[in-house]
């Protein structure tokens, strides 16, 4: 076997180059702290012997594995899957691989009976020696966080950088990327009122979850501010998936007095389930009941009718979350500025009768 063909280690590369192992590591990582002459010399040796360092070797030298942990409450939820795709795209651009941990936290709505405790994943993530962790949903989204969860989160946050996409909680050693949970709700209600709809219901969302609480409070406060009656009988909470939207809407349609003229849904999936329930009752959207959504999913534009909704900039939030985490790993003192404002998208389901044209 020739010198060019034999397997060679980073220590041998260092010896052949006449430099330290740490200098070879800097060359491999394109560090700016290596002179051009040394960079060229070591690169020649690396190319001559077709040297490719293992992930383990890199980790031993740099104390970084170029691996991130992403803990997500339900990858089948379009909200989380859209976030994750953006996170993965940017992680790859920065040279990181991802260990995805799906807890099935919201799985009871579609046939998964047991969620995996997040504490289990916290320890698993630490054992895998990841460089940092991103948390999307789960117990962190509850109105009340348990002491045991907070303690486990702090144990992990004290060892590696942890970024949470969600509202901050006190006494927690993590970085939080805040979302505007209630933004746009008032605009949706005012739009429905402008269309002549005054009996407006609220459908979907699980009680005790921050997203539900924030949007429900905004719904009630907006109606109050506009002197519109807010009837508790028009509020039907459930969860965040299409079957939940169906059940919640069917409950409102059981009696004439609780049948609304418009509904505000927690997200597009719930809106699609609600529209099916309305159709099964022999009613029409938007002629009989206007339907709007607080959170746009990719499929909403292909519903029949197309959904009036809020663009919560989920892709942007995913991008900002991963950039915040990488910045924390690299001890970047310059923070990332995040501006998150939902945008109202008017389509057919509200009854605005717009001349909608599909855009390529």
pLDDT tens digit sequence for 154-169: 999 999 999 999 888 8
- C-alpha 332: how far from chain center: 23
Dump pLDDT digits (tens) for 123-145: 888 888 899 999 998 889 999 98
For 185-311+344-350, the fitting CATH number among 3.40.50.300, 3.65.10.10, 3.50.50.60, 3.40.50.2300 is 3.40.50.2300
Residues 27 and 18: their CA atoms lie apart, in Å, by 13
**Beta-strand relationship, 235-236 and 200-203:** parallel
Please give the CATH architecture assigned to the domain spanning 10-62: Orthogonal Bundle (1.10)
Least confident piece of the model among 93-107, 198-212, 255-269: 93-107
Predicted confidence (pLDDT) at residue 175 exceeds the cutoff of 70: yes
Taking the C-alpha atoms of residue 15 and residue 6, their distance in angstroms, rounded to an integer, is 16
- Extents of the domains making up the chain: 10-62, 67-180+314-342, 185-311+344-350
Confidence of residue 54 (pLDDT cuts 50, 70, 90): low
Q: Average of pLDDT values for 93-118?
A: 73
How high is the pLDDT of residue 336? 63
More confident residue, 246 or 181: 246
Cβ-Cβ contacts under 8 Å for 28 (sequence gap 6 or more): 46, 53, 58
Mean pLDDT in the chain? 86
Distance between CA atoms of 94 and 335, rounded to whole angstroms?
A: 18
For residue 20, pLDDT beyond 80: yes
Between these two residues, 201 and 20, which has the higher pLDDT value?
201
User: What pLDDT was estimated at residue 360?
Assistant: 28
pLDDT in tens, 323-343: 899 888 887 755 566 777 899
More confident residue, 101 or 65: 101
For residue 88, pLDDT over 60 is answered with yes
Cβ-in-10-Å burial (0-12, 13-18, 19+) of 41 comes to middle
More confident residue, 311 or 5: 311
Do the two domains 67-180+314-342 and 185-311+344-350 of this chain adopt the same fold? yes
Where does the pLDDT of residue 14 fall: very low under 50, low under 70, confident under 90, or very high at 90 and above? confident
Supply the pTM of this predicted model: 0.79
Pair type for strands 67-72 and 262-265: unpaired
Give the CATH class of 67-180+314-342.
alpha beta
Please name the residue that has the structure tokens 């560090």. 31
Of the two residues 89 and 249, the one the predictor is more confident about is: 249
Does the pLDDT at position 174 exceed 70? yes
């Amino acid at each position: 076997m020739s010198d060019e063909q034999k397997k060679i280690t980073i220590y041998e590369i260092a010896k052949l180059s006449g430099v330290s192992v740490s200098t070879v590591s800097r060359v491999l990582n394109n560090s700016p702290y290596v002179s051009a002459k040394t960079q060229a010399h070591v690169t020649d040796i690396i190319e001559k012997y077709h040297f490719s360092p293992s992930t383990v070797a890199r980790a031993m030298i740099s104390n970084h594995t170029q691996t991130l942990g992403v803990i997500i409450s339900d990858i089948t939820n379009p909200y989380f899957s859209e976030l994750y795709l953006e996170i993965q795209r940017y992680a790859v651009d920065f040279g990181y691989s991802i260990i995805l941990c799906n807890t099935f936290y919201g799985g009871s709505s579609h046939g998964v009976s047991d969620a995996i405790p997040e504490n289990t994943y916290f320890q698993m993530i630490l054992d895998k020696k990841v460089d940092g962790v991103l948390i999307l949903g789960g117990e962190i989204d509850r109105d009340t966080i348990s002491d045991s969860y907070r303690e486990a989160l702090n144990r992990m946050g004290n060892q590696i950088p942890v970024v949470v996409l969600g509202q901050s909680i006190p006494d927690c050693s993590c970085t939080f990327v805040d979302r505007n949970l209630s933004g746009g709700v008032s605009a949706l209600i005012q739009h429905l009122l402008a269309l002549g709809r005054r009996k407006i219901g609220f459908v979907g969302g699980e009680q005790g979850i921050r997203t539900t609480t924030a949007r429900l409070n905004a719904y009630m406060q907006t109606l109050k501010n506009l002197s519109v009656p807010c009837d508790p009988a028009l509020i039907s909470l459930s969860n965040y998936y299409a079957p939940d939207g169906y059940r919640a809407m069917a409950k409102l349609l059981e009696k004439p007095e609780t049948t609304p003229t418009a509904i505000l849904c927690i997200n597009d999936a719930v809106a699609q389930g609600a529209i099916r329930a309305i159709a099964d009752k022999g009613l029409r959207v938007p002629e009989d009941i206007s339907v709007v959504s607080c959170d746009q999913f990719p499929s909403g534009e292909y519903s029949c009718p197309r959904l009036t909704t809020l663009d919560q900039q989920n892709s942007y939030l995913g991008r900002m979350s991963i950039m915040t985490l990488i910045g924390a790993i690299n001890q970047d003192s310059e923070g990332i500025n995040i501006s998150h404002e939902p945008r109202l998208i008017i389509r057919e389901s509200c009854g605005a009768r717009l001349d909608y044209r599909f855009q390529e």
